[in-house]
Amino acid sequence: MLCIRGVVLPEREERVFWIDGEVLRAGDPPGGLAGRDAETIVDGGWLLPGLVDVHTHPGALEPGVPFDEELLRRQLGEHRDAGVLAVRTPGTAQRMPAWVEKDPELPRVTSAGRWLATPGRFFPGAGRDVSEADLVQAAVEEAAASSGWCKVIGDWAADEPAVPLALLTSVVEAVHAAGGKVAVHCQTAEGTRNAVLAGADSLEHGMHLDPALLDRMAAQGTAFVPTLSAFGANVDEMRAREPGVRRDLWLAGWDTMLGNVRAAHEAGVTVLAGTDSFPCGTVAGELTWLQRAGLSAEAALGAASWTARSWLGLPGLVDGAPADLVAYDTDPTLDPAALDHPSRIVLRGRVVR
């Protein structure tokens, strides 16, 4: 019988748990911590219900490359070994294989089926190419075939039109009516505005977000996944390019992103951590960017842990929850470097390390 004792975040309370199969039980185990069958695998330190990356695309190194199931397994393993015990994949080249959900050694995956791209709005053939006339039905199909999510490419080139608001609204209404949720890729002012006004469940990237829309986002529950680390890695390259419409619009959008993330958080919008980059298992780097944007260390950590889990419908460290947890020797809100060095990882009741 495996036992754990430590300070639970964000509550900052010392608690004791024991593992009952794949389930976490609160309190002393039968017979107590010193019982004959009890083995304490964590004795002190700081406990999280695992990290979460809500925007990651394992299975291919870039859009347009054939989906590789062995690469998918390796990249999910990279997440797990970094303490990322839950991920959301908002769009992939093919639907998530059934074996992913059944593999006890891999993180819990919330998938959104294949990227849905209307003509001219994505890498050709990288996802599911559909006409605007077929987009609503395709969105319902992908949500039904995945974890209840679908992902729409809401815009693409910075100087070209986004998916029309009326069409995107119809998509959201149809998917919601079927019990699903809609993530929208948006990097232009029009695309981001349309995603918010359509009632999307999440804005992926949200470049050029109009701060006047933040109260509406908060009221309707639209989350903001800015993927700052993916953009930040490209800033120097973009600045070095010759001036042009697309380069200049990209930089103008980036220059407002950190302020928009801070304003969104202050307005009550759920801001979440996603990487949209490789290697996998690097969501801790996104927390650094969220703190640069103005989130507190605890809010940034929540964006990649308990807040993200709650948003995905996953419980934290409570009695009866899945036995998923990560332990650290020091408080990761005070020592962010600790996130790169978990002292213990437990997934589905099994000790990973």
Tell me how many degrees the CA angle 113-152-267 measures, rounded to the nearest 5: 110
Look up the pTM and report it: 0.96
Query: What is the overall mean pLDDT for the chain?
Result: 96
Confidence (pLDDT) at 203: 98
CA distance 298 to 307: 10
Between 277 and 62, the higher pLDDT residue: 277
pLDDT digits (tens, 9 = 90+) for 88-129: 999 999 999 999 999 999 999 999 999 999 999 999 889 999
The answer to whether 1 touches 37, Cβ cutoff 8 Å, is yes
The most confident of the ranges 29-33, 37-41, 106-110 is 106-110
pLDDT tier for residue 1 given thresholds of 50, 70 and 90: confident
pLDDT in tens, 247-258: 999 999 999 999
> What are the extents of the domains in the chain?
2-49+315-351, 51-312
Stretch 168-178: mean pLDDT, rounded? 98
Residue 36 has pLDDT above 70, yes or no: no
- Backbone φ and ψ for 142, nearest 5 degrees, come out as -65, -40
- Bond into 342 cis (ω within 30): no
With contact defined as beta carbons under 8 Å apart, do 153 and 185 qualify? yes
Rounded to an integer, the average pLDDT of 14-20 is: 96
Over 90: is that where the pLDDT of 53 sits? yes
Query: How does pLDDT run across 219-248, given as a tens digit for each residue?
Result: 999 999 999 999 999 999 999 999 999 999
The pLDDT confidence band at residue 63, using thresholds 50, 70 and 90, is: confident
Q: CA-to-CA distance for 92 and 99, rounded, in angstroms?
A: 16
Q: DSSP alpha helices (H): ranges in 64-202?
A: 69-81, 98-102, 135-145, 165-177, 189-198
Residues 155, 118: Cα–Cα separation, whole Å: 9
Q: 2-49+315-351 — its CATH code?
A: 2.30.40.10
Instruction: Say which range, 63-72, 115-124, 125-134, 327-336, has the weakest mean pLDDT.
Output: 63-72
Q: Can you name the CATH fold of 51-312?
A: TIM Barrel (3.20.20)
* Residues 144 and 176 sit within 8 Å (Cβ to Cβ): no
